[in-house]
A and B are shown apart, each in its own frame.
Chain A
């Protein structure tokens, strides 16, 4: 395992794109969070808005960069033919997948941590000027607040799980472009279709199984009981998707010719 990790680490760190994507994930997370925080408004104590979720909106954009990093970490080996060398050196193929998942997941964790911390900090400074004041029932965002910590920490885990899901999907489809297409479809189709469905039950169920909607339930800090799925259960749904993708990706590596 140590050797597999070392080999994958060497591959990952020697591609300039990896650093750029991680940097982009962090920067875009903070950037979009700042833009959205500057764009919202709260005019009364009844504005019923989630300050923590608002300041963490950048995760929507950051996750795309994480997904690209994770998908290409697997997909590019297939496009360059490197995968045959890799498997020749490391015949236990699932080990390669685990090593990739650990390293890419770790990178996502790090980028997510920086992006989320930056976002919370940005929200703490911008939101009070947008009406999120004590008079309207809002305290300044702080990680010492239990629910805010859950939202922030959960967002970091969310990004990590998106990385794992993407690694699994890429191993399954064995192509960067198709992998990105599938991952983005998994993320965006559920909310888009759910919004178009008028039936309350179907709408609820679609949101409950949607990797993005359910996973981001972790960001909720108000009206938690009104959510279609509770925060940790929602993150669990995303974890199931990620585990499923890794499992099927691993099986596919074992059973198919490279």
Chain B
């Protein structure tokens, strides 16, 4: 860039800072980003059993696994203490899931239950480091619809052969421990074994709790609605039949004891109605709950929730972006501007640079204050905010600021194209805000709105991870965006670049 461009930038900066209405729009945008977040935080409270304020927020913290991820650790466990190296083998001959009839709560005996399909209902063998919630584990299991799996430490999932379990096609499973390495095997006949997966768990004590487990996550039926989704379903239970149980190697067979793996012994359906049933070598085990990442839990509030004011700030900055060029057309100033610098492309570039830099800087400050202050308010009102790394936090704050700046520049480009403030503002809002409102709580086809439109950029605020081994309602309003943060941001970049390109072409081609 030559010194001439510097002069252009200076000229545009002078225009921006000397129009009172624009300064008001800028200030309004920044203040609203913080104020709307603070207002909504002040109006939201979450209770807990002990304490108030920050202590309450800590009490509302979700259970976390060995790597700090929010998890669910609640299943029926038939176990014994085993020491050192060894293995356990079982044959699984059935796995069936049931849900209580609506309204009955399953209290009316077998008649109050209906058969359902819970794809991730699981039954198999598990070795758990301790009786503590969230302790390390490795497990090999058969699932209702996803075949044999080897899973460990909640977030890791290795697929084995597909298929379902039945009397005619039983599933043999084996879990062995050698040092700190746990390996899962599966077999169709108990003679030919195939390794499914293995893992080395750090810091596992010599004696662990090992045995059979059954879990069945919430049964769900999700329907798309206009603005949002509707979910029917609730807790379910699964019953599995094990036989040919063999404890071998260094592990000495002992007495099995059973119970729901939870501090109070309660599963999602309350206390287990029937303890496990052992007759001869056959075990009938009924379990509820899940041992998996706690994905999709709407209570897992994130740093993104402190930036709800983004939308409001966006409105003000979009209005400013459009006016930055349309006001020149309205007042005829554009002719003076273009006379002073006949290279029209550079005028547009200077405007984009000034607008982008000013809105980015201001938004970054506002977003930083919002994350810090609104986050503090939310914690004081009992909300636990999922911890994130410094790098992620920086990405959310700077990404949101960049989103606001780009949206403003996008409005500038659209304003240059249509040369009318009202039309430009309406078009940009319709492209950025409306798709988010329609797509944020939708599943299915409407989620494409958050992939294709500039609203995709809101994914820079996403910090939650979706797990294929958990069927949850993964929607943007709970923090799960269909695109990764930078891919979503890239979509807005593409829109902005395309609009700027077209604006540049029209600006050079048309009379002012």
Residue A38 interfacial (CB < 8 Å): yes
Residue A60 interfacial (CB < 8 Å): yes
Which residues in B have their C-beta under 8 angstroms from that of A195?
477
Chain B residue nearest to A41 (CB atoms) is B224
Q: Which residues from 206 to 229 on chain A have a C-beta closer than 8 Å to any C-beta of chain B? A: none
Are A177 and B225 in contact (CB-based, < 8 A)?
no
Alpha-carbon distance A24/B54, docked complex (angstroms): 51
Contact with A along B294-316 (1 / 0, CB 8 A): 00000000000100100110011
Residue A72 interfacial (CB < 8 Å): yes
Instruction: Among A50, A61, A189, point to the contact of B434 (Cβ < 8 A).
Output: A61
Residue B59 interfacial (CB < 8 Å): no
CB distance from B378 to the nearest CB of A (A): 9
Which residues in B have their C-beta under 8 angstroms from that of A53?
226
Chain B residue nearest to A44 (CB atoms) is B221
Alpha-carbon distance A17/B420, docked complex (angstroms): 11
Are A181 and B425 in contact (CB-based, < 8 A)?
yes
Residue B44 interfacial (CB < 8 Å): yes
Alpha-carbon distance A164/B317, docked complex (angstroms): 26
CB distance from B51 to the nearest CB of A (A): 18
Alpha-carbon distance A72/B422, docked complex (angstroms): 7
Instruction: Among B37, B45, B232, B426, point to the contact of A68 (Cβ < 8 A).
Output: B426
Residue B21 interfacial (CB < 8 Å): yes
Given A176-B422, A178-B21, A39 contacting B444 (CB threshold 8 A): yes
Instruction: Among B46, B225, B319, B426, point to the contact of A40 (Cβ < 8 A).
Output: B225
Are A54 and B225 in contact (CB-based, < 8 A)?
yes
Which residues in A have their C-beta under 8 angstroms from that of B323?
177
Are A46 and B232 in contact (CB-based, < 8 A)?
yes
Are A177 and B445 in contact (CB-based, < 8 A)?
no
Alpha-carbon distance A185/B25, docked complex (angstroms): 13
Q: How large is the interface on A (under 10, 10 to 19, 20 to 34, 35 or more residues)?
A: 35 or more
Are B445 and A60 in contact (CB-based, < 8 A)?
no
Instruction: Among A40, A177, A199, point to the contact of B226 (Cβ < 8 A).
Output: A40
Interface hub of A177, A181, A193 (most chain B Cβ within 10 A): A177
Q: Which residues from 65 to 94 on chain A have a C-beta closer than 8 Å to any C-beta of chain B? A: 65, 67-68, 71-72, 75, 79
Residue B423 interfacial (CB < 8 Å): yes
Are A49 and B223 in contact (CB-based, < 8 A)?
yes
Which residues in B have their C-beta under 8 angstroms from that of A192?
308, 311-312, 437
Are B44 and A198 in contact (CB-based, < 8 A)?
yes
Residue B39 interfacial (CB < 8 Å): yes
Alpha-carbon distance A39/B225, docked complex (angstroms): 9
Residue B438 interfacial (CB < 8 Å): yes
Residue B322 interfacial (CB < 8 Å): yes
Contact with B along A21-41 (1 / 0, CB 8 A): 000000000000000101111
Main secondary structure of the interface of A (DSSP, over half): helix
Residue B201 interfacial (CB < 8 Å): no
Residue B430 interfacial (CB < 8 Å): yes
Residue A197 interfacial (CB < 8 Å): yes
Are A196 and B305 in contact (CB-based, < 8 A)?
yes
Which residues in A have their C-beta under 8 angstroms from that of B433?
184, 188
Which residues in A have their C-beta under 8 angstroms from that of B430?
61, 64
Chain A residue nearest to B436 (CB atoms) is A192
Instruction: Among B305, B322, B444, B477, point to the contact of A41 (Cβ < 8 A).
Output: B444
Residue A43 interfacial (CB < 8 Å): yes
Are B312 and A189 in contact (CB-based, < 8 A)?
yes
Residue A180 interfacial (CB < 8 Å): yes
Residue B484 interfacial (CB < 8 Å): no
Given A60-B434, A192-B308, A196-B308, A71 contacting B226 (CB threshold 8 A): no
Instruction: Among A42, A180, A197, point to the contact of B43 (Cβ < 8 A).
Output: A197
Are B312 and A199 in contact (CB-based, < 8 A)?
no
CB distance from A22 to the nearest CB of B (A): 14
Are A177 and B425 in contact (CB-based, < 8 A)?
yes
Residue A251 interfacial (CB < 8 Å): no
Residue B11 interfacial (CB < 8 Å): no
Chain B residue nearest to A60 (CB atoms) is B434
Are A57 and B21 in contact (CB-based, < 8 A)?
no
Alpha-carbon distance A145/B251, docked complex (angstroms): 72
Chain A residue nearest to B326 (CB atoms) is A177
Chain B residue nearest to A181 (CB atoms) is B319
Residue B178 interfacial (CB < 8 Å): no
Instruction: Among B305, B425, B444, B445, point to the contact of A184 (Cβ < 8 A).
Output: B425
Residue A202 interfacial (CB < 8 Å): yes
Are B223 and A199 in contact (CB-based, < 8 A)?
no
Interface hub of A61, A178, A181, A193 (most chain B Cβ within 10 A): A181
Give the 5 A-B residue pairs with the shortest CB-CB distance, closest first: A198-B44, A177-B421, A196-B40, A39-B445, A196-B308
Can you list 23 A-B contacts with CB-CB less than 8 angstroms, sorted by A residue number? A39-B442, A43-B221, A44-B232, A47-B223, A50-B226, A57-B226, A60-B434, A61-B434, A72-B420, A72-B423, A176-B420, A177-B319, A177-B326, A184-B426, A185-B315, A189-B36, A189-B315, A192-B311, A195-B477, A196-B40, A197-B40, A198-B45, A202-B43
Sample of 7 further A-B pairs with CB below 8 A, known A184-B315, A191-B437 = A43-B221, A49-B225, A49-B230, A64-B426, A75-B422, A189-B312, A197-B40
